């Protein structure tokens, strides 16, 4: 939820930290702070609000140096105040640290320390951690951090400065991400890769329980037992322009526009004219694939909606018993998961706490676990048996758009591949579907090019307070996703519903002030959905229809029609979601909302 960045080297640390913090504001943005070595003193500065507020204050104080740590906060323990903002220090100011995660037993630890005479100035779990560290430290930070880990329960990525050591910083992580960036005479750490991209593409993903000491000269890493590790250095293939707005007013709009390219690069070398082949990435034996009886897909938020779409394709193209669950539900109820289960975990960040916990549960029960993620090196990626990556590049806007598209693409590749391996799909059908899959990037781009029509739609309805989004079959999850997008970035109340369920309750909400946005491609359920439109129209609701090119009939029922190119029924979600993303974007813009950083939200939810 929070973002961490650390630097040591020749550059001006204040510039590096602010650049990194701005690139990580999507992780949390209610307050910010930094600590740095200035001459021979550790300086700490913290402000409530966005990074820009802190930047102003730092310049006024004339802060400068070459070693420091920074933090953007998304409040969990304690309100949004300067006292609760990071970094936190022990009473003597000898230890200064920033933290991402939640220490669950902090109240017990705090009580223990208060008995020993410690006094706290914040309400945070983090302040307890730094006090505890100060008591454990006996001159060797590695030893102290090994001991500290024995005391802490919960999740943490900690980056620490020590007043006695002006040469570098220390790190430790468990349950929250932390990446080291290696440069030439300079080194970095961050919660995520984008802050590192302007300086280096050589990264080390710290494992659970790893401890690191980082100086200008390099980094030393120890595992959770204290044994030294050989650095496992990865070269990331993202570049810095991918994490910039590239001339767009918002990351979200840029990312919507990148969706054709995302589908293209995600398909690349995985689909040919003959069909789908994932055998280079999934080293599954025929026997293994045939042993699976059920397929569980587990995810949260938008990733869950992508999974619901895929459930339909997987059920059609394979003989597996497919079920989709919200991760926070899956982990707490009885699930029939065993060695005959292929369990798929969908998460753009690979750091969502509930999805990670659900994976651990399924794996413990014997399931074969596959991650679908955009984040190589993420916790999910490192813990599963297999990973299929989306090729989406960094997504900075808090509202997921291009990663949804990437997830759909990977899930469909998986569906077709399993269909082939288990004989659920004929060779002729596979070729036909592969051809259509290869056409999708062009159709996605053609749909995005219709933005102007969606902008006019937004102008017409931006003042409404409530919306109902409807769809059937493949379009039902798209209605859910359309409603979620509108809620999260424009703060307008929107309900997503299965069109056939409308008359079982939500119809009571309808009147001339509640527009009904219906996703109605020319598919096998078209006429049924058309009846639902008529039911809503009879209650005087303004009707918006997301239909298919050439469907003249729709305009006789709907007040506003946006069409998308024709595609096979199974692929319609790839196209019909786009007008809904653009609609949410333009409504949010007209309502002057902070589109890339909606209130109360964080890009990755690393706490339960």
State the nearest-atom distance from the C-beta of 166 to ligand M6R, in Å.
37
Q: Is the Cβ–Cβ distance between 1 and 192 less than 8 Å?
A: no
End-to-end CA, the chain: 11
The verdict on 398 binding ligand M6R (CB under 6 A) reads yes
Return the residue of 31, 89, 352, 541 that touches ligand M6R, per CB under 6 A.
352
**Burial environment of residue 343 by CB neighbours within 10 A (0 to 12, 13 to 18, 19 or more):** buried
Is residue 300 involved in binding ligand M6R (CB under 6 A)? yes
Query: What's the rounded Cα separation, in Å, for the pair 604 and 159?
Result: 19
Q: Within positions 500 to 529, which residues make up the interface with ligand M6R, using CB under 6 A?
A: none
Nearest partner of 126 among 52, 46, 222, judged by Cα: 46
What is the three-state SS of 481-540?
Answer: HHHHHHHHHHCCEEEEEEHHHHHHCHHHHCCCCCCEEEECCCCCCHHHHHHHHHHHHHCC
Closest contact distance (angstroms) between CB of 345 and ligand M6R is 9
Size of the site for ligand M6R (CB under 6 A): 16
Marked catalytic residue, from 402, 443, 487, 603: 603
- Least distance from ligand M6R to the Cβ atom of residue 477, Å: 13
Smallest distance from ligand M6R to CB 10, Å: 35
x/- mask, ligand M6R, residues 152-191, rule CB under 6 A, reads ----------------------------------------
Is 2 in the active site? yes
Contact 31, 48 (CB under 8 A): yes
**Rounded CA separation 471/234 (Å):** 43
Please select the residue that binds ligand M6R; options are 84, 257, 302, 532, rule is CB under 6 A: 302
Say which residues have a Cβ less than 8 Å from residue 269's Cβ, sequence separation at least 6.
Answer: 280
Residue nearest to ligand M6R (CB): 301
399 binds ligand M6R (CB under 6 A): yes
Q: How far is CA 135 from the centre of its chain?
A: 36
CB of 301 to ligand M6R, least distance (A): 2
In the complex with ligand M6R, which residue's Cβ is closer, 33 or 598? 598
Which lies closer to ligand M6R via its Cβ, residue 433 or residue 607? Answer: 607
Residue pair 257/448 in contact by the 8 Å Cβ criterion: yes
Q: Is 301 in the site for ligand M6R (CB under 6 A)?
A: yes
* Binding test (CB under 6 A) with ligand M6R, winner from 282, 580, 605, 607: 605
Q: Which residues fall within 8 angstroms of residue 23, CB to CB, at 6 or more apart?
A: 194, 195, 197, 243, 396
Q: Which of 162, 17, 3 is nearest to 98 (CA)?
A: 3
Q: Does 400 bind ligand M6R (CB under 6 A)?
A: yes
Q: How many CB atoms lie within 10 A of CB 267?
A: 21
CB of 547 to ligand M6R, least distance (A): 25
User: Which range, of 253-261, 277-285, 540-548, 600-608, touches ligand M6R by CB under 6 A?
Assistant: 600-608
| Residue 348 or 475 having the CB closest to ligand M6R | 348
Contact flag: residue 490 with ligand M6R (CB under 6 A): no
> Does residue 449 contact residue 565 with C-beta atoms inside 8 Å?
no
Is 604 a binding residue for ligand M6R by CB under 6 A? The answer is yes
Q: Confirm or reject binding of residue 581 to ligand M6R (CB under 6 A).
A: no
Backbone angles phi, psi at 245, to 5 degrees: -75, -15
Binding status of residue 25 toward ligand M6R by CB under 6 A: no
Q: Assign 450 to helix, strand or coil.
A: coil
Q: Is 171 a catalytic residue?
A: no
Tell me whether the omega of the peptide bond preceding residue 87 falls within 30 degrees of 0, making it cis.
yes
Shortest Cβ 398–ligand M6R spacing (Å):
6
Interface residues toward ligand M6R, by CB under 6 A:
300-303, 347-349, 352, 355, 398-400, 488, 601, 604-605
> Active-site residues: which are they?
2, 603
């Amino acid at each position: 939820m929070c973002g961490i960045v650390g630097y040591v080297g020749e550059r001006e640390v204040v510039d590096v930290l602010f650049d990194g913090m701005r690139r990580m504001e999507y992780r949390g943005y209610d307050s910010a702070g930094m600590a740095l070595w200035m001459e021979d003193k550790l300086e700490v500065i913290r402000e409530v609000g966005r990074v820009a507020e802190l930047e102003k204050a730092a310049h006024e104080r004339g802060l400068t140096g070459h070693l420091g740590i920074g933090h953007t906060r998304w409040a969990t323990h304690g309100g949004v105040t300067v006292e609760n903002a990071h970094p936190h220090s022990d009473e003597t100011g000898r230890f200064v640290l920033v933290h991402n995660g939640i220490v669950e037993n902090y109240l017990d630890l705090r009580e223990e320390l208060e008995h020993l005479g410690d006094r706290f100035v914040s309400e945070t779990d983090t302040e307890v951690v730094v006090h505890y560290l100060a008591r454990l430290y006996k001159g060797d930070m590695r030893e102290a951090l090994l001991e500290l880990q024995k005391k802490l329960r919960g999740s943490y990525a900690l980056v620490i400065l020590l007043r006695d050591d002006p040469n570098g910083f220390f790190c430790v992580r468990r349950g929250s991400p932390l990446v080291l960036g290696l440069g030439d005479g300079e080194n970095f750490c961050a919660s995520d890769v984008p802050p590192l991209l302007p300086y280096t593409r050589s990264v080390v993903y710290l494992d659970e329980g790893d401890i690191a000491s980082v100086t200008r000269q390099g980094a030393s890493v120890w595992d959770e037992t204290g044994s030294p590790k050989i650095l496992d250095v990865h070269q990331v293939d993202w570049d810095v322009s991918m994490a910039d707005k590239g001339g767009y007013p918002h990351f979200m709009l840029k990312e919507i526009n990148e969706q054709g390219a995302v589908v293209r690069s995600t398909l690349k070398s995985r689909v040919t004219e003959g069909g789908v082949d994932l055998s280079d990435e999934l080293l599954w034996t025929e026997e293994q694939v045939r042993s699976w009886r059920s397929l569980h897909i587990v995810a949260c938020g938008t990733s869950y909606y992508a999974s619901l779409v895929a459930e339909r394709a997987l059920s059609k193209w394979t003989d597996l018993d497919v079920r989709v669950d919200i991760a926070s539900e899956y982990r707490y109820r009885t699930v029939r998961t065993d060695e005959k289960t292929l369990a798929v975990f969908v998460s753009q960040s690979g750091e969502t706490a509930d999805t990670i916990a659900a994976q651990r549960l399924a794996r413990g029960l014997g399931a074969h676990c596959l991650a679908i993620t955009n984040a190589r090196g993420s916790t999910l990626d490192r813990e599963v048996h297999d990973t299929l990556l989306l090729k989406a590049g960094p997504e900075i806007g808090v509202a997921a758009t291009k990663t949804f598209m990437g997830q759909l693409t990977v899930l469909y590749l998986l569906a077709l591949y399993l269909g082939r391996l288990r004989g659920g799909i004929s060779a002729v059908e596979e070729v036909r579907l592969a051809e259509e899959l290869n056409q999708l990037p062009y159709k996605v781009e053609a749909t995005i090019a219709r933005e102007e029509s969606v902008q006019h739609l937004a102008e017409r309805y931006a003042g409404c307070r409530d919306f109902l989004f409807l769809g059937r079959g493949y379009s039902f999850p798209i209605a859910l996703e359309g409603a979620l997008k509108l809620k999260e970035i424009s703060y307008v109340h929107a309900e997503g519903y299965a069109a056939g369920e409308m008359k079982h309750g939500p119809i009571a909400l309808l009147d001339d002030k509640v527009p009904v946005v219906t996703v109605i491609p020319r598919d096998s359920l078209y006429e049924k959905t058309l009846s639902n439109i008529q039911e809503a129209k009879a209650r005087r609701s303004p009707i918006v229809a997301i239909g298919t090119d050439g469907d003249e009939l729709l305009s006789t029922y709907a007040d506003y029609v946006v069409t998308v190119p024709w595609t096979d029924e199974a692929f319609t979600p790839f196209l019909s979601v786009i007008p809904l993303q653009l609609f949410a974007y333009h409504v949010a813009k007209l309502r002057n909302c902070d589109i890339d950083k909606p209130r109360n939200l964080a890009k990755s939810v690393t706490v339960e």
